Chain A
Amino acid sequence: MLRIENLLKTYGGKTALKDVSLEIPRGEIIGLFGENGAGKTTLMKCILGFVRYSGEITLDGDCINTKNIASISYATCEHSFFPDISATAHRDFYEEHFPAFNRRRFEGLMDFFDLPRHKVLRTFSTGQKNQFEVILALSQGADYILMDEPFAGNDIFNREDFYKVLLGILEPHETVILSTHLIEEVSGFIGRAILIRKGRIIGDVTVDELDEQQKTLVSYIKETYDYRGDRVSKALNDITGEEE
């Protein structure tokens, strides 16, 4: 269980996250939604210990440090691979440092996405870079797989392929936290949605709960975000000066 309690993060007086408390068990596929700058990336960076924060983040009751950090992996649109070594060299590096590295999964995904094994990462296309970033995160042998906008620059077919592979390979003890703008695309397969706005959690719901309330994820998100459907027509009226 990954537990976040009363997380507070400020950047030079500006509040990036406030009152964030979450419990994240193993075996969930979670969508993390919010506008740009809402705090999605900051939340992940806090979990990984990249930034200082106040509050408490624990994994199975322990603080996150070198002893248990291997159970958390991270794929980011900023890319965290090494630009000047090949895919195979990455595999060897990961294998050396992460004892639970899943070589079989790595090779399988490399084949599936048909990525070059001996070219340095710098020469990959953006789409290939994203795929490789995700492959590493999935192969590390982590129980918690954090993905921050992993598909910026991939086309839809590519993404759909990825979703299906993801669903097919995940083990029951693996949790994926997927931060994305592509709500409708992932709404079919996530099991839980966490909504974040201006640094606060404004919604946290499981798909089961939504099923019971007979709501769809998209309608729930629009509702929670106080999305005003008449916004567009109003704006058009204002712009064109038309009155009813």
Chain B
Amino acid sequence: MISDIIEKHSPPGYSVRSELNTLYAGLGLSLFFSLGFFAKYFASLNALYDIDEGKRFLRENVKCEDFADILGIYLTGFIFTAVVMLFFMLARYLYTQTASKSIYTLRRLPEKGIEFRYFILMPITYAIISLLAGFLVLTVYFAIYMLATPNECITAAQWYKIWRL
């Protein structure tokens, strides 16, 4: 189903399967890599407490590490995947140049923007999907941070600080 739609926006005969496999693998690995966030977050969370006679106490006047600092590079997998997906523009173009010069046929089609449609549209879509997935993960992690961290330990402007890089 999905591959039918993609094939409509690809040079005829181009293998859409390998693109999708790359995208899925990229998203999966990126998500897996992002889980490192939790290790670091729980460590930061633990640092807020003191253990006294087997009981946990929230230390006084402690602040939790900023969300942005904990997050660190854990979402870069999604950006990396997006960049890799853009390289399929080149793969698509090369497909029309090797074995035969089907680029000649594509360039003769009586439609405007055929090169955009066949070479650029889908790779950009994959890249956007990857970035959106990363953003989705970001908001989920942020929500977890905001809910699981004791309120008095959260410094102001956490969301803003993410974009301060």
Contact = CB atoms under 8 A, between A and B. Distances in A.
Q: Is A–B contact present in the complex under a CB 8 A cutoff?
A: yes
Interface of A: 48-50, 66-70, 72-74, 76, 78-85, 89-90, 93, 97-98, 120-122, 129
Interface of B: 11-15, 99-105, 107-112
A138 to B, nearest CB: 14
A66 to B, nearest CB: 5
Given A69-B110, A122-B99, A85 B104 contact: no
Q: Is the interface of B mostly helix, strand, loop or mixed?
A: loop
A85 B12 contact: yes
Nearest to B99: A83
A79 B13 CA distance: 15
Given A74-B104, A121-B100, A122-B99, A82 B110 contact: no
A93 B7 CA distance: 12
Contacts of A79: 100-101
Max chain B CB contacts within 10 Å: which of A120, A121, A129? A121
Contacts of B101: 76, 78-80
9 contacts: A66-B110, A66-B111, A74-B108, A79-B101, A82-B100, A82-B105, A83-B102, A85-B13, A122-B99
Contact of B14 (A72, A84, A97): A84
Contacts of B13: 82-85, 89, 120
Nearest to A133: B100
Given A89-B12, A93-B12, A120-B13, A83 B100 contact: yes
A84 B100 CA distance: 10
A118 to B, nearest CB: 14
B102 A82 contact: yes
Contact of B104 (A76, A93, A121, A122): A76
Nearest to A80: B104
Nearest to B98: A83
